[in-house]
């Protein structure tokens, strides 16, 4: 069993990988040309990182993107990837991703917000990707593929898609109990996810600034991509006993958790959709 200190270090390593080390101190002002204005303030979220079999979601991968693999990370001297690959060589071509369930005080695109049910939240499953032909792209920010983005407001999902932001309907909730434990779930026709996290207040680490570029899945009908700028993450590792349960036929149900669950909060997000070149 890893010590809490080791778990915290592992979480920070993975967060650095997801955010991209070169992006941590960069200017997080969005480039010109945004077609929409997306604002998120005071989020609270449960996050975990996963590896997944790219073959299960290959139809979602646009031709101009490729999944970042564990083998690629290991070849780049990423410690956890080298260790994992030594123990699990059969998964060398698997990708790296993260899942989060998030609620927030403000979620607004062009001045319009979802109608949240009680304890309503959003959830997402994003994968790290690279460009098939890097010389064809000069986008600012770390690229991700939005494998899924769920919201519990069907009308707002349609609104988001009309604005060039990929989303689909899912019943997503996130609740804080009186003892400080957070519980969340995602329910769709293909998937049911439940999670539990009790943040360790002694494990707070200050986070980062970053720019990310989020591409829609190939089969979504969405052509625009979204840039987001993040600033001010704070992270707490969830205590021992935290858990995730995945059920269903959705590809996410066959992914494998990587590292410790974390509770993240305290940042702000600005974003906007951009037309593909």
Task: State the pLDDT at residue 22.
Answer: 41
Domains of the chain listed by start with CATH number: 4-274 (2.40.400.10)
- pLDDT tens-digit readout, 145-199: 999 999 999 999 999 999 999 999 999 999 999 999 999 999 999 999 999 999 9
Give the residue from 127, 138, 94 showing the smallest Cα distance to 18: 127
Secondary structure (3-state) at 28: coil
Q: What percent of the chain stands above pLDDT 70?
A: 88
- pLDDT tens-digit readout, 224-257: 999 999 888 889 999 988 999 999 999 999 999 9
Tokens representing 245?
């349960």
pTM: 0.89
Question: d(Cα 222, Cα 164) in Å, to the nearest integer?
Answer: 6
Q: What percent of the chain stands above pLDDT 90?
A: 75
Task: Identify the DSSP state of 29.
Answer: P
State the number of CA atoms in the 13 A half-sphere of 223 facing the CB: 4
pLDDT at 20 over 60: no
Confidence of residue 202 (pLDDT cuts 50, 70, 90): confident
pLDDT at 104 over 50: yes
- pLDDT tens-digit readout, 29-70: 889 999 999 999 999 999 999 999 999 999 999 999 999 999
CB 226 within 8 A of CB 271: yes
Give DSSP secondary structure letters for 221-232.
Answer: ----EEEEEEE-
Tell me the mean pLDDT in the region 127-147: 88
């Amino acid at each position: 069993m890893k010590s809490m200190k080791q778990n915290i270090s592992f979480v920070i390593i993975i967060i650095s990988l997801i955010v991209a080390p070169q992006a941590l101190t960069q200017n997080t002002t969005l480039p010109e040309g945004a077609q929409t204005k997306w604002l998120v303030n005071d989020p609270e979220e449960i996050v975990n990182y996963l590896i997944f079999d790219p073959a299960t979601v290959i139809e979602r991968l646009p031709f101009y993107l490729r999944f970042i693999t564990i083998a690629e990370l290991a070849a780049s001297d990423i410690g956890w990837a080298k260790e994992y690959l030594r123990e699990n060589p059969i998964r060398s071509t698997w990708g790296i991703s993260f899942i989060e369930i998030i609620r927030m005080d403000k979620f607004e695109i062009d001045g319009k917000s979802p109608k949240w049910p009680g304890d309503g939240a959003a959830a997402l499953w994003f994968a790290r990707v690279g460009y098939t032909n890097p010389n064809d792209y000069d986008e600012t920010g770390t690229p991700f593929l939005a494998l899924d983005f769920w919201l519990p407001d069907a009308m707002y999902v349609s609104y988001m898609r009309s604005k060039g932001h990929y989303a689909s309907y899912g019943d997503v909730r996130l609740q804080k109990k009186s003892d400080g434990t957070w519980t969340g779930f995602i329910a769709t026709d293909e998937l049911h996810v439940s999670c539990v996290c009790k943040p360790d207040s002694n494990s707070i680490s200050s986070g980062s600034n970053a720019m990310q570029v989020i591409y829609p899945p190939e089969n979504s009908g969405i052509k625009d991509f979204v840039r987001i700028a993040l600033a001010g993450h704070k992270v707490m590792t969830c205590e021992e006993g935290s858990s995730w349960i995945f059920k269903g036929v959705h590809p996410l149900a066959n992914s494998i958790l990587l590292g410790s669950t974390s509770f993240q909060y305290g940042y702000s997000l600005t974003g906007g959709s951009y037309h593909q070149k």
